[in-house]
Structure 1
Amino acid sequence: MGTSWLVLFVGIVFEVGASICLKLSQGFTRPLPSVLIFVLMGLSLACDAVAVKKLDVSVAYAVWASVGTAMVTLIGIFLFKEPAHWLKFASLALIVLGVVGLAFSSGQH
């Protein structure tokens, strides 16, 4: 795994953290998670900016969005007890397949 992919993954983790803080902020009524949203999203975007120096922006963004979506979905199910349905998991699988297809089509896998 190249450095750009590692930086992209770190950016994804920051973005997922920001998304979780959105829930924890309870509509920006709790100060710490509210501030963390902006800090973590800023760090995420900084990592993404570094990653796209070497990666195709189409693939990097697709990976960032889809992996983040999958991680937040799973955290929502297991941490926040959101409903889990076969259609939710099938939809996630389709997203992942689409991103894998994009990565292979650009030669960045």
Structure 2
Amino acid sequence: MEKKIIKSYSLSEMKDKYIGIVGTPDRDQYEYELRMDILGRMIKTARKERNLTQEQLGELIGVKKAQISKLETSANSATIDTIIKVFKALKAEISFNVKIENQNLQVS
């Protein structure tokens, strides 16, 4: 009996094949949505660490509970200003890295 060799693929190879290579519109959208999902989860984790409800966090920054819920499930529609307010209310540090022509800029 002959053994079959099964080819394995890395996650990167699978994303390239099924979503598109880095730099294509579909891949860029996928990577953006993934980062926003992670940001939402970070907000939720920090909120729970501070023992705050969504309603309490909303009150701290002047928004409704529904907006906090939406932010935690998908930060896609959030403005940077709102995200900064949320992390300040949570007493959490946030920083942004911007890369311009091989030069890193960091804003905290």
Normalised by the length of structure 2, the TM-score is 0.30
**Whose strand fraction is larger, Structure 1's or Structure 2's?**
2
**Whose helix fraction is larger, Structure 1's or Structure 2's?**
1
Which structure has more RCO (C-alpha within 8 Å, separation ≥ 6)? 1
Larger Cα-atom Rg: 2
